[in-house]
Chain A
């Protein structure tokens, strides 16, 4: 392949509250059987990349667990394969990554020891399916220094949470503002970039010397006139899991046939670490209507318009509506769960009620016992 991959999986997002208190955003469970990281990682593998680095920082335990073997993404290789970079101590330095550019700079030997022409950098917490070959071809065709994937914002997207981009008539970037107060366009960056490897090395070394550490602010924005930066438009499904609402919506989107078919029924599939759970079991009192249910789950009560992850147990006469229930949660008899997000391994004893509103789903933190 012409490119190596880097997935920035270190990020956290305070707007996700308790959901990311104990895990990186990239480790968020999505769509009943995935973690967010599975999407960029599968995209890279499916695009034919042989060498991919995942850079972690915040609460990386669950990510490391998920990546304990690279073979599920077909990246268990002798040549290349999957690299996982976390901050480390050395005799000279003992700091965390000071920004996205710094996190790549600290691992610059990964870039220097490769000989592929391009580097694809993607954030680890977005749900989408993309063939990065199209992006690299576009990059070559435009003779660009950097190509940034962008999209037209959806109605209702808060543009102030995104990188907002402006282009000339030839899709060359004229301006880029990170989380602007007054957005000047509806085009938002998807946090996916392609750049020549040697140029990335030079840029990272240059900004490091100036004690600058951020890829967007200190490279793309600062160099926007100097470099030929182009926008590559992507119109497929995309959700960046940047708020509780978008996290909730993204999971509910999997109840739509087109979205489900895109990720689960159309090759190449999105791959994830297998958990070897048995089939889902629907007992005689089960009523699952418009529900997505993970393997190893045992259903006794009503489940409607909800996403249940693997190994969820629901008791007799319980009802779950408009909710997300993560792996290993246990819902006793006669419980009511509505507009709620139950994190992993939550236990609801018999008769408990957890009821939120469509605007503000209740979040029950991981391993809570009610």
Chain B
């Protein structure tokens, strides 16, 4: 196998449970974003744009959609005869199998894959952040400082620092201490979960740590171990746009921010494109009576109603007389006639009937998961069906095919849930 200077390992196995039903049947990195993308498109595109042409994608939770999306890497030009993209799933070894039990454990279990490319450096990426970053610059920094490990960090407000892994640095940005969610933070430099290691050093640490922890984790174990051994670990400051879209509210917000006339995150950059796999290339059609303003529409949308301040995924249909406001509708959505949808997230391939109202009522947190759905946003899970003529409140959750008799007086009050497990018979 041809030697590679640096290869990337992308941790894409996470569930992202704070995204509620959006990750019921897909891994968090596969969640749609900005009309036509999925979270994983951002680190994947950053890789190819940075000249990193060998990427291992580690999957574990609900990998089906992710596997199909990545395929052999064609959209990212990662279909290569040497390198390219490889999906790395947990597998049987000897008599029994082993799940990926921690971020570092997942890399440990793929040492053989990495060694095939004999890399000098290894880039560890997460699959659930929205940003554009030139990893080759971070590698230059890593080499220039003679680092054993480089950790990408960003400044966060000090009062929020207790939610992050905080790097305590010397004046030259070398790290002397790692504080996981400190009560009294000494610094405001938060780890982005993005690392470059000198592979030889990481390999030693992974092997040693595997003996001590069976759930070896970069933040909890590997970085403290390397610091304890006085290895050279530097913080690499990154202050451009970077979004952790881990909650319903932050997910909704990050989508809405793209709508601004001059958004903070520019998708219209010719020289740092974000690539994605899309079945649809076709244009968007707006009917003679349509009214689309302050919105993003992906390929193949067909709009006959009104769409304001919303993000619509590919191949979405909006019927006559319908008004959609402050909402996200993902790929393949079909919204009937004369409906009114406000502050909703409608996942892929949903069918919403005629004369449906979503988002009406008081802001009462969800009855099942009040901590996840409490900001007024109603969420409809993928492949859900909402019948004609129903009114749905705020913070509601609908999953699966809902039928009219499940709505008391044609109504689902704020905070209510109608959840059918995938595949359940609910006729």
Contacts and interface: CB of A to CB of B under 8 A. Distances in A.
Given A286-B292, A295-B299, A280 B284 contact: yes
Interface string A237-276: 0000000000000000011000010011100010110101
A279 interface: yes
Contacts of A32: 282-283
Interface in B217-261: 259, 261
Interface in B292-314: 292-300, 307, 311-312
A278 to B, nearest CB: 4
Interface in A15-36: 31-33
A351 to B, nearest CB: 21
Given A291-B286, A295-B299, A276 B292 contact: no
A124 interface: no
The residue in A71, A255, A265 that gathers the most chain B C-beta atoms within 10 A of its C-beta is A265
A288 interface: yes
B296 A289 contact: no
A283 interface: yes
Interface size class of B (residues with CB under 8 A): 35 or more
A295 B312 CA distance: 12
Interface in A282-303: 282-296, 298
Contacts of B299: 33, 279, 295
A152 interface: no
A288 B292 contact: yes
B35 A282 contact: no
Contact of A278 (B36, B281, B292, B293): B36
A114 to B, nearest CB: 26
A276 B48 CA distance: 14
A33 B273 contact: no
A151 interface: no
Given A279-B35, A279-B297, A284-B261, A255 B285 contact: yes
A283 B294 contact: yes
B423 interface: no
Nearest to A287: B291
Contact of A33 (B75, B283, B293): B283
B74 A293 contact: no
B290 interface: yes
A281 interface: yes
B182 interface: no
B261 A292 contact: no
Interface string B263-278: 0000110000111101
B274 A290 contact: no
B267 A291 contact: no
Interface residues of A, number: 38
B285 A291 contact: yes
A264 B300 contact: yes
B217 to A, nearest CB: 35
A33 B286 contact: no
B85 to A, nearest CB: 15
B422 interface: no
Nearest to B273: A276
Given A276-B274, A278-B267, A282-B293, A294 B283 contact: yes
B288 interface: yes
B296 A281 contact: yes
Given A279-B296, A287-B291, A296-B268, A71 B286 contact: no
B132 to A, nearest CB: 12
A283 B261 contact: yes
A254 B299 CA distance: 14
B34 interface: yes
A31 B295 contact: no
A289 B274 contact: no
B173 interface: no
Given A278-B34, A279-B36, A31 B290 contact: no
B157 interface: no
Interface in B341-396: none
B51 interface: no
A292 B275 contact: no
A288 B274 contact: no
Interface in A55-95: 71
A255 to B, nearest CB: 7
B289 A31 contact: no
Contacts of B280: 264
A289 B287 contact: yes
Contacts of B315: 265
A271 B311 CA distance: 25
Given A279-B36, A291-B285, A274 B278 contact: yes
Given A284-B293, A296-B268, A274 B281 contact: yes
B283 A282 contact: no
A298 B75 CA distance: 23
Given A279-B36, A282-B293, A289 B286 contact: yes
A193 B82 CA distance: 42
Given A276-B273, A279-B296, A293 B278 contact: no
A33 B268 contact: no
A276 B269 CA distance: 11
A288 B79 CA distance: 38
B35 A290 contact: no
Nearest to A290: B288
A293 B289 contact: no
B289 to A, nearest CB: 7
11 contacts: A269-B282, A278-B267, A279-B35, A280-B284, A280-B297, A281-B296, A285-B293, A286-B294, A289-B290, A295-B36, A295-B299
Smallest CB-CB A-B distances: 6 pairs? A264-B282, A32-B283, A279-B35, A278-B267, A288-B286, A279-B296
